[in-house]
């Protein structure tokens, strides 16, 4: 049987690649069925797993066998299945769970969009608007609320996992205030307020997003130092702070990105610190993931992930001086900047 460690010859590798949709669909199916949650620390017969997830044993075995070829679950000689490091990441209760991300990257709209990638490459424009007649996030919220929920869950889980790493990296000891722009539920700003007990923090995001801001920021232990501001960073940044943090939102279309950065420099003024945190498509351990996300952004919003060079170009064009670039973890980099005087 082919295993995750096998290195097939080029003709077979290409065959595997063109069947990549089968692999993605298999991960999605396992996540939706809850197979990883049903499988405990000990190996289980497929019949027991099937009963737990309300599936038929024979097709479930076929699904798990396919996934085991990629190191997601492991088939043992006695026919039982066991967890691997990857399959545990599909558990809802794993602290590093990627279940929501796995679902988000395989939502129904993606299966409509991927076959039109050649169109997006020819035109340089997204295909979602021609598919659904609406801008991507408008489509999600109006016509695909389940996908919108999956998106919010995925972004929340991703923010939870990276926020503490971001807070640990950043030295804001000379600042009295920080603003997290497009910060979702506020995981980054909450971690920074934990790290700096006298600092004040602002969270700015769309009204429907900040309605679900962390309870700690709204009514809990951080509420007296936190300001929650509903708004669109692409329209304006009505928040004054010593430091602005912009994480994983400079990947929209060029016009939106330029407007956001212009709003930040105008709000902050000369000398203000601006910290941009993004995935890169340079030669990093996350290149396969980042380049795939780059293509997905082309399809849905006409956006892009960046190389170090293109990100620096965006920032300097907006009137920012890049002082330092540091890795946060294997898939995120922090660009330390200040507004030019």
Residue 341: pLDDT band by 50, 70, 90 thresholds? confident
Is residue 293 included in any domain, yes or no?
no
| Dist CA 316 CA 323 (whole Å) | 11
Q: Could you tell me the two tokens for 178?
A: 């920080």
106 and 229 assigned to the same domain: no
45 and 144 assigned to the same domain: no
pLDDT in tens, 138-184: 999 899 999 999 998 898 888 888 999 999 999 999 999 999 999 98
175 and 268 assigned to the same domain: yes
61 and 80 assigned to the same domain: yes
Asked whether the beta carbons of 316 and 322 are under 8 A apart, the reply is yes
pLDDT at 337: 98
Q: Is the pLDDT of residue 208 over 90?
A: no
Is residue 1 included in any domain, yes or no?
no
- CA 338 from chain centre, in angstroms, equals 26
Range of the domain at 60: 10-94
pLDDT above 90: percentage of residues in the chain? 87
Per-chain mean pLDDT for the chain = 94
pLDDT at 1: 46
pLDDT at 6: 63
| Beta carbons within 8 Å of 16's beta carbon, 6+ residues apart | 8
Residue position matching structure tokens 């060029």? 254
pLDDT at 115: 98
111 and 131 assigned to the same domain: yes
112 and 70 assigned to the same domain: no
121 and 181 assigned to the same domain: no
The number of folded domains in the chain is 3
Q: Is the pLDDT of residue 3 over 60?
A: no
187 and 141 assigned to the same domain: no
Mark which of 40, 65, 94 sits at the end of a domain.
94
Residue position matching structure tokens 């939106």? 256
- pTM, full prediction: 0.87
pLDDT in tens, 120-141: 999 999 999 999 999 998 999 8
Mark which of 111, 127, 161 sits at the end of a domain.
161
| Dist CA 267 CA 284 (whole Å) | 33
pLDDT at 8: 85
Mark which of 79, 94, 109 sits at the end of a domain.
94
Other CB atoms within a 10 A radius of the CB of residue 140 amount to: 23
- Distance of CA 132 to CAs 6, 12, 128, 150, 202, Å? 41, 36, 6, 19, 35
Other CB atoms within a 10 A radius of the CB of residue 45 amount to: 14
Q: Is the pLDDT of residue 282 over 90?
A: no
- The number of CA neighbours under 13 Å toward the Cβ of 30 is 32
The backbone region for 182, taken as left when phi is positive above 0, alpha when psi lies in -120 to 50, beta otherwise, is left
Residue 251: pLDDT band by 50, 70, 90 thresholds? confident
Is residue 315 included in any domain, yes or no?
yes
């Amino acid at each position: 049987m082919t295993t995750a460690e096998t290195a097939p010859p080029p003709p077979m590798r290409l065959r595997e690649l063109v069947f990549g949709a089968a692999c993605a669909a298999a991960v999605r199916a396992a996540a939706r069925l809850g197979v990883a949650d049903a499988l405990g620390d000990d190996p289980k017969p497929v019949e027991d797993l099937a009963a737990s997830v309300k599936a038929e044993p024979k097709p479930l075995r076929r699904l798990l066998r396919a996934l085991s070829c990629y190191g997601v679950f492991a088939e043992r000689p006695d026919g039982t299945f066991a967890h691997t490091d990857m399959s545990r990441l599909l558990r809802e209760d794993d602290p590093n769970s990627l279940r929501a991300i796995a679902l988000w990257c395989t939502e129904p709209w993606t299966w409509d969009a991927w076959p039109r990638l050649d169109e997006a490459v020819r035109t340089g424009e997204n295909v979602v608007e021609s598919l659904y007649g609406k801008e991507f996030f408008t489509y999600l919220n109006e016509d695909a609320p389940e996908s919108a929920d999956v998106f919010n869950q995925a972004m929340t889980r991703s923010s939870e996992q990276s926020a503490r790493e971001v807070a640990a990296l950043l030295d804001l000891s000379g600042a009295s205030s920080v603003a997290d722009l497009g910060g979702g539920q506020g995981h980054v700003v909450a971690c920074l307020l934990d790290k700096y007990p006298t600092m004040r923090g602002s969270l700015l995001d769309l009204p429907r997003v900040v309605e679900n801001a962390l309870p700690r920021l709204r009514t809990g232990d951080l509420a007296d130092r936190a300001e929650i501001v509903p708004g669109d960073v692409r329209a304006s940044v009505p928040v004054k702070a010593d430091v602005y943090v912009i994480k994983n939102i400079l990947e929209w279309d060029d016009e939106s990105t330029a407007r956001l950065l212009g709003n930040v420099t105008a709000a902050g003024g000369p000398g203000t610190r601006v910290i941009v945190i993004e995935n890169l498509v340079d030669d990093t351990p996350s290149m396969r993931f980042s380049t795939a996300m780059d293509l997905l952004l082309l399809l849905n919003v006409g956006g892009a992930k960046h190389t170090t060079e293109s990100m620096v170009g965006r920032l300097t064009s907006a009137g920012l001086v890049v002082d330092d670039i540091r890795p946060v973890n294997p898939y995120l980099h922090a660009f330390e900047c200040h507004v030019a005087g």
